[in-house]
Homo-oligomer: A and B are copies of this chain.
Amino acid sequence: MVSLDDVARAAGVSTATASRALSGRGRSSEATRERVRAAAEALGYVASATASSLASGRAENIGVVVALIDRWFFARVLDGIASRLAPEGYDITLYNVTDDPAQRRHLFETSLRRGRVDGLIVLSTPLSDDEVARLGVLDLPIVGLGVPRAEVDGLRVDDTAVGRAATAHLLALGHRDIAHIGFSVSDESGSDPALDIPTRRRRGFEQAMADAPDARARFVAADFTVAGGRQAALDLLAGPNPPTAIFAASDELAYGVLQAARDRGVAVPADLSVIGVDGHELAELFDLTTIDQFPHDQGVRAGDAILAALGHGTGEPPAAPLPFALVTRGTTAPPLGSNA
């Protein structure tokens, strides 16, 4: 391995000067900078990340804490983060959170404390009080993305507004019997209900429905999976007065709803309108109306925010809530028999 000493020797300067010339930190004349760079280039020198980190205290590495890396949404976010951080010279190390208590303890008590990263991006993971506390004492800049904890500050979509927008779309089409399929956070989750995403979407649903007193509103709890959405929808459709529209709290739930409708011979959108949330990659295939959340862009912004916290970039990260947008497709339409 070629070391900085080799480069310095080749350039005829001291190691210190070589370091300054290459990093751009501290003063150095244009001439020596040229010479050192040329030597480094010729020798194929690359600074050891590990030595550099130890000496400078800068790891040039950002940790991303994520459960469910294999869920499309988070994978997209991760891609966004990478696209923002790589050009700045930051590496990304992945901290995968599982349900295994021993694994979690090791992660929060050891892995995260090994000093490998300069900052942390925490993706929408339910965290215990203890885990939140451990993040707090890490002495690292932390950016959360949809983390349901007031202690972890970060970026979030206005999920209540999302719920309202989805519901308002159905109401505007003329629906007066709308069901919401979502997830109920347990009280023991430690999540702050005021920040919990499914809870907020449901709240938005309720707010919008309150504006239409003549409409019937119902809620069904389900897992955030295709199977969960399917079961919930089967239950709804089996009842005596099925709703004319369903607002599913995620696109995957919505896929399950579409499946249930198909199984039951319920025509979409003639007999049943369906709207999801996420902007999932296959939503277009299903012709599903949805609220796009731009997860890739969320990742980019989380990258912005952590860079800003590390003193890069210009000024403050945008504090505004993350954008979302209604994407109208073929699964929503006025209810049968309406004049809309």
Contact = CB atoms under 8 A, between A and B. Distances in A.
A282 interface: yes
Given A46-B113, A86-B96, A69 B78 contact: yes
A72 B69 contact: no
Contacts of A91: 93-95, 111, 116
A61 B116 CA distance: 10
A82 to B, nearest CB: 4
A296 B69 CA distance: 12
A127 interface: no
A282 B281 CA distance: 12
A48 to B, nearest CB: 5
Interface stretch (A5-13, A50-58, A174-182): A50-58
A154 B90 CA distance: 28
A79 B78 CA distance: 13
Interface string A49-82: 1110110000101000000011110011011001
A283 B273 CA distance: 23
A248 to B, nearest CB: 14
Given A70-B79, A285-B255, A87 B103 contact: yes
How many copies of this chain does one complex carry?
2
A231 to B, nearest CB: 13
A152 interface: no
A92 interface: yes
A262 to B, nearest CB: 10
Contacts of A47: 114
Is the interface on chain A under 10, 10 to 19, 20 to 34, or 35 or more residues?
Answer: 35 or more
Interface string A94-111: 111010000100110111
A167 interface: no
Nearest to A111: B91
A96 B82 contact: yes
A71 B282 CA distance: 12
A96 B282 CA distance: 23
A317 interface: no
Contact of A93 (B46, B72, B78, B92): B92
A286 to B, nearest CB: 9
A270 to B, nearest CB: 16
A50 B48 contact: no
Given A70-B76, A110-B46, A94 B96 contact: no
Contacts of A51: 54
B79 A69 contact: yes
Given A103-B87, A114-B47, A61 B93 contact: yes
B285 A226 contact: yes
A83 interface: yes
A176 to B, nearest CB: 30
23 contacts: A46-B114, A47-B114, A50-B54, A50-B116, A69-B75, A69-B82, A70-B75, A70-B76, A70-B78, A70-B296, A83-B96, A83-B98, A86-B96, A86-B103, A86-B107, A87-B103, A91-B93, A91-B111, A93-B93, A226-B282, A226-B284, A256-B285, A282-B282
